[in-house]
Amino acid sequence: MREYLKFYIGGEWVDALGPHTMDIVNPATEEVCGRVAVGSAADVDRAVAAARKAFAGWSVTGREERLEVLRSILDEYQKRGGDLAAALTEEMGAPASLAGGFQVGLGAGHLAKAIEVLEDFAFEERRGATLVVKEPIGVCGLITPWNWPMNQIAVKVFPALATGCTMVLKPSERSPFTGQIMAEILGAAGVPAGVFNLVQGDGPSAGVPLSAHPGVDMISFTGSTRAGIEIARNAASGVKRVTQELGGKSPNIVLDDEDLAANVAAGVATMMGNSGQTCSAPSRTLVPAARMGEAVAAAREAAERVTVGDPNGDVVIGPVVSASQFEKIQALIQKGVDEGATLVAGGTGRPDGLEKGYYVKPTVFANVTNDMTIAREEIFGPVATIIGYDDVDHAVEIANDTEYGLAGYVAGADLDQARAVARRIRAGWVAVNDGFDFGSPFGGYKKSGNGREWGEFGFHDYLEIKGILGYAPDDAAS
C-alpha cells in the first residue's frame, strides 16, 4: 500500500503540518490502496512562502537555463513512465494500455511542445519607441483534476516553468499518487528549490486556502463548473488572475454522407474512452433524423465492442473513479430512461460478471431531445446520446444550445462542409474528422471556462505585459 505523508516544499520533502490523512480507494477493487496527508492552510502558507522566495531568482533566469531544466525533466519523466502508469491504474482505474499509452504520453507530448515553444517564444517586442515586455506573473496556484492527471499537470506546470513563474500544485485528492511522483521527477531533474511545490489535500482543506491566498498571483484550475465558480469567488478579493477549464457537453455533428455509420461508431468509441471521464468527450452525437436507424445500429455495435473489466487486463475501459461518481452516473442513466429516451445499449447496474468495483455499462441512448437531462448535464461516464437533426442549420442550433462550450466535433467526407460547420460551433476546441494537435489552443466558451492551455497559447496566462515607453526614442525618430 502506498503511503505519502510528506509534501514537497522548498526543494525538500517535509512533514505535513495538519494532523489529518485520507485513504485512497482503488476503484477496481473498492479497497484502500494508499494513504495521503491532507494539507492545511498552514501547509499552503509554507508552500506559498517558498514559491515567493524562489520567484526572485527564477523569474530572471534566461531562456537557455529554463530550457536546460525542461529537457532534464523530460529525461526524468521518460525514466518514470512505468511508475506513472502503474499509479494511474491504481488510483483512477485507467486500463494499463491507456495509462501507459495516452495518459502518460500526453504529459510527455505537452512537455516536448513546451520546450519547442520556449526555444522561439518572443518575450520582448519593439513597437516604435515602445518596448513591449512579457514577464512572469508570479506565484501560481495550480489545481488539477483526477481524470487526466498527467495531461492537466503538464499543461499547467510546464508553461509556468517555461515563463519563469513559481508554483504550488494541489492535485486532486482522488489521484494523488501521480502528483507525488511528478514532484519526485521535478526534484530529480534539478528544478531549483521553491520553484515547484506540492501540497496534497481536498478542496476545503487545501484548495480554498490556495485560491484565496494573498501571496498567490494566479490560479489555474481544471474541474467542475460548480467548483470553478467557488474558486473564482475565493480569488476575487485578491484580484488575482483566474483561468479555468471546466465542464463540457460537447456536440459531435455527423454529416449526412456515406461515412455516417463509421463516423457514428468512431464518435461512440471516443466517448467511451477513459470510461467517459473526459470533459471534452463527444457526449451528444447529432445525426440526420431520417437516418436515425442506421446511426442506432452503428452505435449499438460500437458500444458492444467496448470491453469492461479489471484495468490490469486487456480491456478497453476500467471502472469510473469513485462510488459517488458511479452513483451519479447510475442516476442519470435512469433519468434518461424515465424521460423517454431509447436505451440502445447498456443501462443501469454493473456489467455482467463484475460484482465489485465501480464499473459502468457502456450505454447509448437514441431519440434524445436536447431538453432532456442526459443532453443537458455532464454525465462524466461512458454514456452517449444520439440526437436527430433536420438539416445542417438545425444541427448547429442544437450543438450551440448548451451552457457549455469546451469542445465540438464534426465528421464528414466533404471537408469544405465540415470546416464550415466547425466555424459555427461555439466552442474553444473543435476537431474535424478526429484532428489532434499539441499546439492547438484548448479551453472553453461560456460556462466551460476562460483562458487557454496547450502549446504557445498556454504560455500567455502566465505572463504579465509591460509597455516601456520612450525605450528607443532615437530609433523611432529615424
Point out the residues that are catalytic.
Answer: 245, 279
Strand order in the sheet with 124-127: 124-127, 130-136, 463-468
Instruction: Pull the grid cell for residue 286.
Output: 447529432
Instruction: Pull the grid cell for residue 161.
Output: 516553468
Single-letter amino acid code for the residue at 94: A
Chain centre to alpha carbon of residue 390? 33
Alpha-helix residue ranges (DSSP H) falling in 305-438? 323-338, 373-376, 392-400, 415-424
Tally of CA atoms within 13 A in the half-sphere of 370 that contains its CB? 20
CA angle 422, 457, 279 (to 5 degrees): 55
Burial category of 231 from C-beta neighbours within 10 Å (exposed 0-12, middle 13-18, buried 19 and up): buried
Q: Give the three-class secondary structure for 304.
A: helix
Contact indicator for 122, 163 with CB cutoff of 8 Å:
no
What residues does 455 pair with on adjacent strands? Answer: none
Give the helix/strand (H/E) hosting 409.
strand 407-411
In the block, which residue shows the cell 515553444? 117
Helix%, strand%, coil% for the chain, nearest 5: 40, 25, 35
Contact indicator for 260, 250 with CB cutoff of 8 Å:
no
Question: Cα-flanking dihedrals φ and ψ of residue 379, to 5°?
Answer: -80, -40
Interatomic CA distance for residues 45 and 424, integer angstroms: 46
Per-residue b/e over 344-364, b at no fewer than 16 CB within 10 Å? bbbbbebbeebeebbbbbbbb
**DSSP code for 279:** T
Give the helix/strand (H/E) hosting 50.
helix 41-58
Residues 6+ apart with CB under 8 A from 214: 238
Contact indicator for 178, 153 with CB cutoff of 8 Å:
yes
What residues does 131 pair with on adjacent strands? Answer: 126, 468
